[in-house]
Amino acid sequence: MSLKAGIVGLPNVGKSTLFNAITKKHILAANYPFATIEPNVGVVVVPDERLDFLNDLYKPKSLVPTSFEFTDIAGLVKGASHGEGLGNKFLSHIREVDAIVNVVRCFDNSEITHVEGKVDPIRDIEIINTELILADLETIDNRINKLGKKMDMAKEKKDILEANTLRKTKDLLENGFSLRNVELTQDELDVLKAFNLITIKPVIYVANVDEDTAIIGDNEYTKRVKEYAGNEGSGVIVMSCQIESELSCLSNEDKSNFLQEMGITNSGLDKLIYQTYSILGLRTFFTAGADEVRAWTFKKGMKAPRCAGIIHTDFERGFIKAEIMSYEDLVKYGTELKVKENGKMRLEGKDYEMQDGDICYFRFNV
């Protein structure tokens, strides 16, 4: 599955530094606005210790982890929804992502310019949220204007639903609500899906701190960000993007030693990757054998045939059964043979809802 998270924020908050760390690439990360002119895309591996076990057990010719894309998007400024700065490019690129990673500056440093003059993370968050709300409002207004009098004359059920949903959405946006923070029915969500609205996307806030705060865990800025995010049900990761960028150049062993010396228990990057994966409702199933051990991304609630289709459309089209064992059972019994001998290998049909950690062999006929 092709899934994307977009890294956004005001200029000079640490977006490109974070992107460098995530992708282990080194794009331009300069101390001036709009250092990132075009979106930069990097594929991120989702850390998964289960792959290590499967690799040791099967000793395959190839090992393929699951992954998704992070996109570093040009810095947003006040007025972007009206074309200020690189606003139009920003807004077009952010519509293409599945989740938003909003990097917020939570440290003081007189040598690094802040586009708004001083550090205030809540103001920065609200500048971005306002611009995204205005952009979505423009999209909804365009649709309403296009429909014109048809809105009031709607008689078909689907047309009435669209008209009512557009009116409700317009009212919410005009009152300053991001759509992810309001209750919408599934029918309303289905209507809005066609417009690819920005404020409906889930958000994770990255509170970018200095080295001292990364060790301590919080400062006054991060506490305010956590309170704000808690009120809207969004996630927060506190990290030093600069430390993470430095860590990305180290081997796994050196990275572990560095973290221990710093007194940091877990990499902020790993936390971000896991939370982004989780906030999108993503899970992992595996295929395993002598040729390849591979992790596959699926959305929670997907049934076996659709998961089979992630591998190949023929697998879904000709789906018969899925032979499945859980990762936990394989670890417990040690081999596939022993899993079968203990009755833990099972055949599942078209109605089976795939679970995280399932190890699958799909039977199909085309």
Question: pLDDT value at position 79?
Answer: 61
Question: pLDDT value at position 113?
Answer: 67
Question: pLDDT value at position 76?
Answer: 62
How far is the C-alpha of 213 from the C-alpha of 223, rounded, in Å? Answer: 12
Question: pLDDT value at position 36?
Answer: 43
Token readout for 90 is: 């920003």
CB atoms within 10 A of CB 43: 10
**285 near 296, Cβ under 8 Å?**
yes
How far is the C-alpha of 301 from the C-alpha of 308, rounded, in Å? Answer: 14
Question: pLDDT value at position 37?
Answer: 42
Q: What is the 3-state secondary structure (H, E, C) of the chain?
A: CCCEEEEECCCCCCHHHHHHHHHCCCCCCCCCCCCCCCCEEEEEECCCHHHHHHHHHHCCCEEECCEEEEEECCCCCCCHHHCCCCHHHHHHHHCCCCEEEEEEECCCCCCCCCCCCCCCHHHHHHHHHHHHHHHHHHHHHHHHHHHCCHHHHCCCHHHHHHHHHHHHHHHHHHCCCCHHHCCCCHHHHHHHHCCCCCCCCCEEEEEECCHHHHHHCCCHHHHHHHHHHHHHCCEEEEECHHHHHHHCCCCHHHHHHHHHHHCCCCCHHHHHHHHHHHHCCEEEEEEECCCEEEEEEEECCCEHHHHHHHHCHHHHHCEEEEEEEEHHHHHHHCCHHHHHHCCCCEEECCCCECCCCEEEEEEECC
Q: Shortest CA distance to 61 belongs to which of 338, 320, 291, 319? A: 291
Give, in degrees to the nearest 5, the angle at Cα 127 between 38 and 95: 45
How far is the C-alpha of 103 from the C-alpha of 204, rounded, in Å? Answer: 9
Q: How confident is the prediction along the chain (366 residues), in pLDDT tens digits per residue?
A: 667 898 888 888 888 888 888 777 554 444 444 444 455 777 888 889 999 999 999 999 999 998 878 888 765 666 655 555 444 556 677 888 999 999 999 998 887 767 667 889 999 999 989 988 998 999 999 999 998 888 888 888 998 999 999 999 999 999 999 999 999 999 999 999 999 999 999 999 999 999 888 888 889 999 999 999 999 989 999 999 988 888 877 777 887 787 778 777 677 888 888 888 888 899 999 999 999 999 999 999 999 999 999 999 999 999 999 999 999 999 999 999 999 999 999 999 999 999 999 999 999 988
